[in-house]
Structure 1
Amino acid sequence: MHVWSIANQKGGVGKTTSVVSLGALLAEQGHRVLLFDLDPQGSLTSYFGLNPDEIEHSAFDLFMQKGKIPENVSEDILVDTSVPGMKMIPASTALATLERNISQQEGMGLIVSKTLAKLWDDFDYALIDTPPLLGVLLINSLAACEKLLVPVQTEFLALKGLERMVHTIQMVTRSQRRELDYMVIPTMFDRRTQASMKSLKTLREQHQGHIWDLAIPVDTKLRDASREGKAISQLDGESRGARAYKSLLKTLLSA
């Protein structure tokens, strides 16, 4: 199984859209794909029509097991998505209580790694959607992944958020004594505005060697796909957004 985390310590930069879009494209290629929602806001869970406030089984259950991942984890917690071949571990808003209740307990940073180990032979790819906060959930995601994708909106405030994320990456690298392979993904790019153009130029200057050559453009079809609970490739595979994510996936698979 290949494990990719999609993370940024700023919200609204396209994390969930990237998880769904890339996951669907992998599934369409015939891969078995798992989406893992670790964000208490449950955007990924809501994307596919589930309510994070009411869901019976979720990622929260795994943390409540305190590291003892049940053998039947796939039966209890996996749900189908609208994309054939792609399943999801949904989020519950109860995840927001973890920092207060169990974050200091030993082994809490490896719950996601242990869960994926139980599912290792069932999936080819796992994509993890993360909260925009440094804490036990984000640390779990970074500890579990082999590749980190950092979507960054091409506007000034998002660039400041990226600085915090890079600092976190450096911290995790030191603590785990391993290099974390990461790629910055410029998103919501609008070449008609100077703000977008300048932000993209700054990103490329400051993150050489860790940034995708292209950018995910502003595309209303991405919003339409979210509203319908579909991936952009299902709604309109020739849209600008779909073509951009296809190009991104090609880059990721060739790296």
Structure 2
Amino acid sequence: MRFSVSNEAARSGAPRIIAVANQKGGVGKTTTAINLGTALAAIKQKVVIIDLDPQGNASTGLGVPPAERSVTAFDLLVGEESMQAAITPTVVPGLSIIPSDVLLSGAELELANDNRRSYKLKRAIEAYVADAARDRIDYVLIDCPPSLNVLTVNALTAADSILVPLQCEFFALEGLTQLLKTVERVRGHLNGTLDIQGVVLTMYDGRNNLSAEVEADVREHFGDKVYKTVIPRNVRVSEAPSVGKPVLLYDLNCAGSKAYVSLAKEVVRQERKRKALKEGEAA
């Protein structure tokens, strides 16, 4: 796979850490994490996905079977293993994953008496990044579970920003409003710099009016925080996880693959613009 983006993205410094989150299930969080990560890797970005959902769907969707998940996100959170030990290669060059399994569902109980439990993931990532001998990473994508628990709180505490996949359905804005309240609470108590990376509309069906109405409402409320790219409802995207591949490897030419490549380019341009503004302010 070879795609181009105008100008090479900046690669210096710490990785951009993005939590892919929505408290509502079935909106395309894992699908977005897998395929955005793959598309970023295809445009020469080095990416690590952290599978922070006990269902382990991101791990399965990237071809990492349970038998090969010897070190998982659970080991990372409880402090038994380092991020370096947990990173597992995937079928996509340049894309690795910290896998998950059902043990992760016990993290809340395991960390119940730790008054720093919300910072476990943040500390693990910081330790990895601080070691200059480590391989460079451009992006860390955290696939969050569809609930507000210690796992999601860890993700939002560790993240620079949150990317919200939003299904084009009737209650979309209501669910997004609830999520933004959660972001405000985390920003107020745990991570004062947490930002909204953007909202990406998923499962868009151009054949009905509802998708268009939802898109119009979301863009009216959130303006340029909504990505121009929309992810269409596409059967090839749904089929790809069954063979342990992202859709870009399963069917590069389908509408879903093209949409995720477009989204990746938007994310890279957004990051380049953010860094340029930051450098301008420092000058």
Q: Report the TM-score when normalising by structure 1.
A: 0.89
In structure 2, the partner of 1:228 is 243
- In 2, are the aligned partners of 1:217 and 1:240 still within 8 Å (CA)? yes
The amino acid across from 1:79 in the alignment is T
Q: Aligned match of 2:58 in 21, 26, 44?
A: 44
Q: How does 1:1-255 map to 2 (within 5 A)?
A: 1-50=15-64, 55-65=69-79, 70=81, 73-75=83-85, 77-120=86-129, 121-122=134-135, 123-175=137-189, 176-255=191-270
C-alpha separation in 1, matches of 2:43 and 2:264: 11
C-alpha separation in 1, matches of 2:258 and 2:186: 33
Report the count of equivalent residues: 250
1:160-188 deviation per Cα after TM superposition (whole angstroms, max 9, x unaligned): 22121111111122223335133111100
C-alpha separation in 2, matches of 1:177 and 1:3: 15
C-alpha separation in 2, matches of 1:156 and 1:39: 26
Deviation at 1:44, TM superposition (A): 0.6
Stretches of structure 1 that go unaligned for 5 or more consecutive residues are none
Deviation at 1:134, TM superposition (A): 0.8
Stretches of structure 2 that go unaligned for 5 or more consecutive residues are 1-14, 271-283
1:170-219 deviation per Cα after TM superposition (whole angstroms, max 9, x unaligned): 11222233351331111000011122222222211222232112311111
Give me the identity figure in percent.
Answer: 33
C-alpha separation in 1, matches of 2:69 and 2:185: 34
Deviation at 1:129, TM superposition (A): 0.3
C-alpha separation in 2, matches of 1:22 and 1:50: 18
C-alpha separation in 2, matches of 1:13 and 1:221: 16
More deviation, 107-116/43-52: 43-52
C-alpha separation in 2, matches of 1:29 and 1:247: 11
1:215-240 deviation per Cα after TM superposition (whole angstroms, max 9, x unaligned): 11111111122222222222222221
1:135-169 deviation per Cα after TM superposition (whole angstroms, max 9, x unaligned): 21111111111231100100013332212111111
Query: Relative to structure 1, is the Cα distance of residues 113 and 192 closer, same or farther in structure 2, using a 3 angstrom cutoff?
Result: same
Q: Report the TM-score when normalising by structure 2.
A: 0.81
1:17-63 deviation per Cα after TM superposition (whole angstroms, max 9, x unaligned): 11111111222222222110001111112213445599442111122
C-alpha separation in 2, matches of 1:167 and 1:118: 30
- In 1, are the aligned partners of 2:78 and 2:110 still within 8 Å (CA)? no
Query: Relative to structure 1, is the Cα distance of residues 158 and 40 closer, same or farther in structure 2, using a 3 angstrom cutoff?
Result: farther
The amino acid across from 1:100 in the alignment is L
CA RMSD of aligned residues (A): 2.1
